[in-house]
Amino acid sequence: MSTKNRVLAASAALAAAASLTAGLATTASAATPHRPAAPSHCRAANTSYRYGPDSGAQVVGEQGFLHIELTNTGSATCVMRGYPGVDLKSGNRTWSLERSTAALKTVTLKHGQSTSFDIAYLPYVKGSGTAFKVTSMLITLPNDTTSHRMAWDWQPVLLQDGATHPGTWVGPVGR
């Protein structure tokens, strides 16, 4: 066989293999059912924040709980899993809260649906340590980088920023 014929035969074999591969790819994609895209993570821009009922210390001097309700205001379904970041602010000081050890849940929210999480805090009592006079807190949703500021309408908190098991902490979403 001449060199020219060998080149032509090799080219024909390559073209046939490419055609066969293209046909298999078309067949495989036609047989795969279309799945809708998974919902994206909830974002601060599409979430409303509010204090839930019974937020705050119910007895003076005892640990208080804030119930933070999060509502999906976006048009698309979104998901959350994990702990929100919570930073308490006092003047130019910031205290990033520790996380509880509660189990995580995945929460899926359609437009208008809500979930919540808890913040526990120890109120400052004169003589118990250092008062952290919270003016606001920043909340960052799991897997988001934008924070939302909420006013703090409760008494000062006992500062425990160096404690290994503080009485002030944040729980996961999906309470």
Q: How much is the pLDDT for 39?
A: 84
Confidence band, pLDDT 50/70/90 cuts, at residue 66: very high
Q: Which amino acid appears at position 171 of this protein?
A: G
123-142 pLDDT, tens digit each: 998 988 999 999 999 999 99
> Does the pLDDT of residue 57 top 80, yes or no?
no
- Distance, in Å, from the CA atom of 110 to the CA atom of 49, rounded to the nearest integer, reads 16
> Does the pLDDT of residue 43 top 90, yes or no?
yes
Could you tell me what percent of the chain has a pLDDT over 70? 80
Under DSSP, the state recorded for 117 is E
- Distance, in Å, from the CA atom of 124 to the CA atom of 126, rounded to the nearest integer, reads 7
1-39 pLDDT, tens digit each: 554 444 444 454 444 444 444 444 444 445 556 676 778
- Distance, in Å, from the CA atom of 149 to the CA atom of 138, rounded to the nearest integer, reads 5
Residues 6+ apart with CB under 8 A from 128: 158
Would you state the structure tokens that stand for residue 48, as one six-digit string? Answer: 């409303």
Q: How much is the pLDDT for 23?
A: 46
Higher pLDDT: 11 or 57? It is: 57
- Distance, in Å, from the CA atom of 75 to the CA atom of 106, rounded to the nearest integer, reads 19
- Distance, in Å, from the CA atom of 39 to the CA atom of 52, rounded to the nearest integer, reads 26
Q: What is the mean pLDDT of residues 137-152?
A: 97
Q: What is the mean pLDDT of residues 160-165?
A: 80
> Does the pLDDT of residue 68 top 70, yes or no?
yes
Q: What is the mean pLDDT of the chain?
A: 84
Q: How much is the pLDDT for 58?
A: 74
